[in-house]
Amino acid sequence: GESVGLHLPTLSVQEGDNSIINCAYSNSASDYFIWYKQESGKGPQFIIDIRSNMDKRQGQRVTVLLNKTVKHLSLQIAATQPGDSAVYFCAESGNAGGTSYGKLTFGQGTILTVHP
């Protein structure tokens, strides 16, 4: 069946370093991918998304890369700050065109810890 999974469950970095969080997906029909940040006791917070017709998208301090050939997604955080410490989930939607009523399938999550 379809699944979205993460390579690394935990990542520790020093403040100011760049962080890279990886995600693999198995559903080749997936056409919309999202990264969420979840802080303790809170709901997932949208970070950045990308459609399957793109291979890179940049936001403020964050970049998402999509490699459809190997079904791999990554989130790069530049100049990581202590406030970036959280669990990061990748998610995919398999609906054609990334329509909003599509369910999101979440990965297992990576715990990012940023040391001052």
Partner 1 sequence: EPEVTQTPSHQVTQMGQEVILRCVPISNHLYFYWYRQILGQKVEFLVSFYNNEISEKSEIFDDQFSVERPDGSNFTLKIRSTKLEDSAMYFCASSEWNEQFFGPGTRLTVL
Query: What is the binding site for partner 1 (CB under 8 A)?
Result: 32, 34, 36, 41-46, 49, 89, 91, 98-109
**Shortest distance in whole angstroms from residue 101 CB to partner 1:** 5
**Shortest distance in whole angstroms from residue 25 CB to partner 1:** 13
**Shortest distance in whole angstroms from residue 112 CB to partner 1:** 16
The secondary element (H helix, E strand) that includes residue 11 is: strand 10-14
Tokens at 86, concatenated = 């959280």
The closest of 24, 39, 35, 23 to 114, measured between CA atoms, is 39
Amino acid symbol at 29: A
Residue number, 17 or 87, with CB nearest to partner 1: 87
